[in-house]
Homo-oligomer: A and B are copies of this chain.
Amino acid sequence: MTEVSVAFLAELVAGRLEGDGSRRIRGLGDLRDATEDRIGFVRHPRYYEAAAKTQAGALLATETIETSAALIVVDDVDVAYAKVAMHFHPLPHASEHFVHPTASVHPEAELQQPVHVGANASIGRCRVGAGTYVFPGVSVGDGATLGERCVLHANSVVGDGCVLGDRVILQPNSVVGSDGFGYAREGAKWIKVPQLGIVVLKDDVEVGANSAIDRGTLGVTTIGARTKLDNLVHIAHNCTIGEDVVMAAGAMVAGSTKLGDRCVLAGQVGVSGHLKITDDCRFAGDTVVLKDVDEPGDYMGHPMMTKRKYMRVMRELRKLAGD
């Protein structure tokens, strides 16, 4: 938690400084009880009165307001808040090389120092980039490659041969590289098809707690850069998920489906296999997607319709029910 000047923070968030840029700031604060070494946040005019009375040394806001604090004016307070908060509370990363005595590291593993390996973690014959922080109980398989400054939270698993870019975050108990759900039917009996592919997570991907991403059958299951998966998300084998996608908790995508960039899947959405979903599609909670989507836009329902059509169907249903 480094002390910095208001001017430094203004530059960090690309904001316009109004007031004394030399004030020293040591952390985040709430408008009402912040002290002069804190920076506060004004997200809405309803906080302007509190801003006028605050003791905080600096404030982030979207316009010039009345206050004794130094002001950093930005277009988007949420984005600026994220950057300031990340400055004062950086993610875990290895600043010095450390391997806990109870951890197991394969003698031929290539750890690009510094790396932090927590208690009872198991690191196979893999490569790990500098700055990466491995929490207790994590398992990384043979042949895996991890980028720089990744964070692998407790008991997460990276399977053999899988590839993580830089700054990838795995929340606790998440799984990267489980076997795809692939079987052939011989009479009534299912026999397993070996799952020989891998998973590739591009830079800045985050995987939520207890989520699972299956390896490709022969090829690759890919998650694009900056895509964020919430808890209990499932990505099946051979999927290609675009960049900047967001999938909320319980969303699931079946095998070989391609999901475009910037798609948003709300909670518990299900997408069938072998589909192609274009860029910029947004699916409301629990939507069931059974066919390709060629047009960006909003979709919902069971089965999926455009939002406009779904609204019409619901209106008619309500009439039927005598409303």
* Chain A residues in the interface with B (C-beta under 8 A): 28, 76, 78-79, 81-83, 85-86, 89, 91, 100-104, 118-122, 135-137, 139, 141, 153-155, 157, 159, 169, 171-175, 177-179, 181, 183-186, 188-194, 196, 206, 208-212, 214, 218, 226, 228, 230-232, 234, 236, 243-244, 246, 248-250, 252, 254, 261-262, 267-268, 270, 272, 285-286, 288, 290, 302-303, 309, 312-314, 316-318, 320-323
A234-B212 in contact given A173-B157, A191-B79, A317-B313 (Cβ < 8 Å): no
A303-B314 in contact given A122-B136, A155-B157, A267-B252 (Cβ < 8 Å): yes
Docked-complex contact B234 and A252, CB < 8 angstroms: no
Docked-complex contact B232 and A85, CB < 8 angstroms: no
Chain B residues with CB under 8 A of A177: 172
Count of chain copies: 3
Interchain CA distance A106-B235 in the complex, whole Å: 36
Chain B residues with CB under 8 A of A246: 183, 190
Smallest CB–CB gap between A24 and chain B, Å? Answer: 21
Which of A191, A212, A323 has the most chain B CB atoms inside 10 A of its CB?
A212
Chain B residues with CB under 8 A of A236: 230, 249
Docked-complex contact A104 and B119, CB < 8 angstroms: yes
Smallest CB–CB gap between A283 and chain B, Å? Answer: 13
Beyond A82-B184, A122-B137, 10 extra complex contacts between A and B, CB < 8 Å? A28-B218, A120-B120, A135-B139, A154-B159, A159-B172, A172-B178, A181-B208, A234-B249, A249-B254, A286-B302
Docked-complex contact B100 and A228, CB < 8 angstroms: no
Docked-complex contact A104 and B136, CB < 8 angstroms: yes
Interchain CA distance A267-B236 in the complex, whole Å: 11
A139-B154 in contact given A175-B172, A191-B83 (Cβ < 8 Å): yes
